[in-house]
Amino acid sequence: MRHFDLSPLYRSTIGFDRLFSMLDQVGPAETNSYPPYNIERVSENEYRISIAVAGFTADELVIEIKENALTVTGEKQAAVEETKREILHQGIAARAFVRRFQVADHVQVMGASLENGLLHVDLVREIPEAKKPRHIPIAANSGSRVLEGAAKAA
């Protein structure tokens, strides 16, 4: 089991408590590999998640984002068949799935599309103006005044 001591980071960082809590809770890697997916960086602030959902229609897929967690759920509708078919080999998975992704603050889902059996979820990181880096002016102390008291001769 891997365990990292994050206490030295607590001394020199401010406001990263949630990140450290998430790192402490990280467990073993998820063993479920269905459905397979890719995460790609399209540009500096744009990302795309592509999930292989062959056999699913748009009505059978649900995408939800809540509290920095993106959840993609797929559930096949029960097909009513008039003729009963006998399947000799079933290699195409058609089982229900739930796939979760943690997204960072200020990452928004811009849209989703289903094409050629791939569900594409487009995300963009929009940093608010208040969170962007800014220069802090330094006041020059060129006009410093020194108060001198007149010495009285007695």
Residues near 50 by beta carbon (within 8 Å), at least 6 away in sequence: 37, 38, 40, 118, 119, 120, 121
pTM over 0.85: no
- The correct CATH number of 33-80+87-130 out of 2.60.40.790, 2.60.120.1270, 2.70.98.60, 3.40.50.300 is 2.60.40.790
> What are the residue ranges spanned by the domains of the chain?
33-80+87-130
Position 144 scores a pLDDT of 57
For residue range 9-29, list pLDDT tens digits in order. 666 666 666 666 666 666 555
Q: Find the DSSP H helices in 13-151.
A: 17-25
For residue range 99-150, list pLDDT tens digits in order. 999 888 888 999 999 999 999 999 998 888 887 788 888 888 765 565 565 5
Radius of gyration of the chain (CA): 28
pLDDT winner (highest mean) among 4-8, 34-38, 102-106: 34-38
Distance of CA 68 to the CA centre of its chain: 6
Which amino acid, 146?
A: V
Band of residue 1 on the pLDDT scale cut at 50, 70, 90: very low
